[in-house]
A and B are shown apart, each in its own frame.
Chain A
């Protein structure tokens, strides 16, 4: 096993490294780009937008035809998202529902990449000469923060648009502590501002990290399950315990895959619902 130790570390390390234009040594460096995350994000975006666009075109071409197959599925999804939005948000902003649909589908597809066997695409990439390949965009902090920061910008934008800059400021400073005396209110407002800012910033942060944490952990489990037989290689098949490990790996991977199917759906759903809630709050007057 001693010889296998560096192999395990290497294997895990390999699965945690992005395909970048150059190595990144600092925490933040905007000259570095993760090609794999961008590639799979755009690929999944095109998959989502393209397939839904085809359905949309067919649906609007004739409103009298009976929907079937994929169109029914898409319509069901649209209807479901629409009812989710209407449950929470009662305004007329035409952005929120399409945004919610986009988030749910895109995040779901991100997460679904987790169910592709962990080594399949990296090995294909390896055969094509790519040193690393991380196929799940939601296990990239850039990927999840890209979503949550966009949502955050929209939150701030609509807060200011709906309540005015002063209204937004009032919301940040007159809540939760409010008194009649102006001289007491000023120090309280500073406390309020501090609390509300933390609350505000916690939203995109928790939105992104919740998704990231769940999917990253899921991916990690798949990687660890892959390790069960990796250390022995084909030589493991010559022993009884090697077959036992293979069987164990198959059963556990399947079980975790089924469970993970639930997780990726729930995480996509949570991301969507919280986005709707945050944007609805941005539209609300207090």
Chain B
């Protein structure tokens, strides 16, 4: 149990060993460990973020899809309505046209009827004159009795 030079040598070796560990061992082991830790944390965070983003994108796609669906519905609705409108317009136009045609035909008919009546009146006048002259066995001066004949014809 003696104290000797070994003590000082031991202290010197210890000092060098501490210096070496501090300089070349500790930071070069702990540094990469912390770096790796940071990387792992980053990776996990990125994975989380990616998942979050995926969820967000899914929700976004869903909302875009439903919006598109709603708009398509609106467009179809609109188209249906305007088709109905056009159909309605066409129907009413056709009805009007028909009524117009019917009215025109009626007018024509009335006109024809009036003309036929007129002709018939004249012919009846002539027939009546002829019949009367035959009845009287003599020629009736048409010109002399024109006023009478016309009055007669008007009575028809």
A binds B: yes
Interface set of A (CB-CB < 8 Å, partner B): 20, 24, 26-34, 37-38, 41-42, 45, 48-49, 52-53, 55-57, 59-60, 63-64, 74-75, 78-79, 82, 94-95, 97-99, 101-102, 106, 137, 140-143, 145-147, 149-150
Q: Other CB < 8 Å A-B pairs besides A74-B29, A150-B14, 20 of them?
A: A20-B4, A27-B2, A27-B3, A30-B4, A30-B5, A33-B4, A41-B10, A45-B13, A49-B25, A56-B24, A56-B25, A56-B28, A64-B36, A64-B39, A75-B33, A78-B30, A99-B21, A106-B17, A143-B6, A146-B9
Assess whether B3 is in contact with A142, with CB atoms less than 8 Å apart.
yes
Assembly CA distance A106 to B7 (angstroms): 16
- CB of B56 within 8 A of chain A? no
**Interchain pairs with CB closer than 8 A, number:** 138
Assess whether A146 is in contact with B6, with CB atoms less than 8 Å apart.
yes
Which residues of B in the span 76-128 have a Cβ within 8 Å of any Cβ on A?
none
What residue of chain B has the Cβ atom nearest to residue A216's Cβ? Answer: B1
- CB of B35 within 8 A of chain A? yes
Assess whether B26 is in contact with A32, with CB atoms less than 8 Å apart.
no
Interface centre among A49, A102, A106 (most CB of B within 10 A): A102
Assess whether A102 is in contact with B21, with CB atoms less than 8 Å apart.
yes
- CB of B156 within 8 A of chain A? no
Assess whether A146 is in contact with B7, with CB atoms less than 8 Å apart.
yes
6 A–B contact pairs at CB < 8 A?
A: A38-B13, A41-B10, A75-B29, A82-B30, A146-B10, A146-B11
Assembly CA distance A57 to B29 (angstroms): 8
Interface size on B, residues (CB 8 A): 33
| B-side interface mostly | helix
Assess whether A49 is in contact with B20, with CB atoms less than 8 Å apart.
yes
* B4 touches which of A28, A74, A82 (Cβ 8 Å): A28
Assembly CA distance A74 to B33 (angstroms): 11
Contacts of A32 in B (CB 8 A): 2, 4-6
Contacts of B36 in A (CB 8 A): 63-64
Contacts of B9 in A (CB 8 A): 33, 38, 41, 146
